[in-house]
Structure 1
Amino acid sequence: MYTTVIDAGASLVAQYGVFALLVVFALEGALVGKVIPTRTLFVAAVLAIGTTTAGMLSVAAAAVAGATAGQVVLFALVRHTDVASDRFAGEATDESSRVARWFDRWGLSAVALSNTLPVARGTLTVPAAMTDENAVRFSASSMVGSSIYACGLLAVGGGIELLLTIA
């Protein structure tokens, strides 16, 4: 009897953990949660759920879906409001103009590349939204970069679990 209760509790914890990961990555994608240690939470979720194929896929899917959703929401907010254009009109700093030039030169491939880099994730969302770039193409590019990032974090989590089993 207790085994069923323990299994149900573990299942709920695993499900809540993946949902929490989705929310945290959505906040990071929207640039609201950049201070949240998403990499640590991702690896911890892999270790908690285990390196089974289903566990790793659920963690990766939650992270990719969350990050993409957060970036698409930010993209839509910038695109459909004048907040960014009003706030940054005439205030172009060297950093913001460098990011805009990078996007102008490389386009959506820059979005995918920036999403593979831990610190730069999501930095091109606002410049992309301020152009006439297609939202569907932007979200696909965001998803590609986030998928590569998640695969790298899966490798880290799997490596840590392997080291823990050897030790």
Structure 2
Amino acid sequence: MFGPAADAVLALVGTYGAVVLLGVFVLEGALVGKLIPTRTLFVAAVLAVGVDAVAFLPMLAAAVVGATIGQLLLFVSVRRFGVDPTTLAVIPGDGDRIEGADRWLDRWGLPAVAVSNALPGTRGWLAVPTASSAVSAPRFAAASLVGSTVYTSALLAVALGIGGAFDLVVGGALVPV
């Protein structure tokens, strides 16, 4: 429908899209990729592969697993190596953001990790104070996974909604004959 070039791009996304999303979400989870438009990339990748569950489930899994791996890498970097992400130029943010995350963790405990991962803008920031607490890496990873699943599922719903609306308009239901 779109021509050979577009068909080639869609084939590449279908073949390598999940791998690219995995890498992008690892960076986003580690706070390094906060400047990458992960939400837009995810929605575009889902739209490119189609709204068939067999096509988009690898994209969903790659985004959730990638974000969890990235946050776990940040968690381990802070806990084992004493990395302070606010001193790194590749991670946007400052001490105030870490202090706010610290207050969330103090007030609500480990569930705050899941909730913060479900919200755009706060994703990943609780990895730093959680690494300084007594929470184990597996418990942190589980909370991160839950929040990332909720977040990515919401993005999937947006993509499916856009795809459905596009199909409705282009499919002829709203286009006069």
SS in 2 for 1:83: coil
SS in 1 for 2:33: coil
Matches within 5 A, 1:17-56: 17-56=17-56
Q: Does 1:68 align with 2:68?
A: yes
SS in 1 for 2:68: helix
Where does residue 3 of structure 2 map in the other structure? none
Query: With structure 2 as the length reference, what TM-score do the two structures score?
Result: 0.81
List runs of 5+ in structure 2 lacking aligned partners: 1-6, 88-93, 170-177
Q: Which of the residues 141, 148, 160 maps onto 1:158?
A: 160
| Segments of 4+ moved more than 4 angstroms | 7-12, 92-95
Structure 1 residues 26 and 153: alpha-carbon distance in aligned structure 2, compared to 1, 3 A threshold: same
**CA-to-partner distance for each residue in 1:55-82, whole Å, 9 max, x for gaps?**
2211110000000000001101111012
Q: Does 1:147 align with 2:149?
A: yes
Structure 1 residues 166 and 144: alpha-carbon distance in aligned structure 2, compared to 1, 3 A threshold: same
Alignment length (residue pairs): 156
Structure 1 residues 164 and 8: alpha-carbon distance in aligned structure 2, compared to 1, 3 A threshold: closer
Cα RMSD (Å) of the superposition?
Answer: 2.2
List runs of 5+ in structure 1 lacking aligned partners: 1-6
Structure 1 residues 95 and 8: alpha-carbon distance in aligned structure 2, compared to 1, 3 A threshold: closer
Structure 1 residues 95 and 43: alpha-carbon distance in aligned structure 2, compared to 1, 3 A threshold: closer
| 2:98–2:125 Cα contact (<8 Å) kept | no
Cα separation, 2, equivalents of 1:107 and 1:66: 23
> Which amino acid in structure 1 is aligned with residue 121 of structure 2?
V
Structure 1 residues 165 and 99: alpha-carbon distance in aligned structure 2, compared to 1, 3 A threshold: same
SS in 2 for 1:46: helix
Cα separation, 1, equivalents of 2:98 and 2:78: 15
Deviation for aligned residue 1:83:
3.0
Identity over aligned pairs, percent: 53
Q: Does 1:134 align with 2:128?
A: no
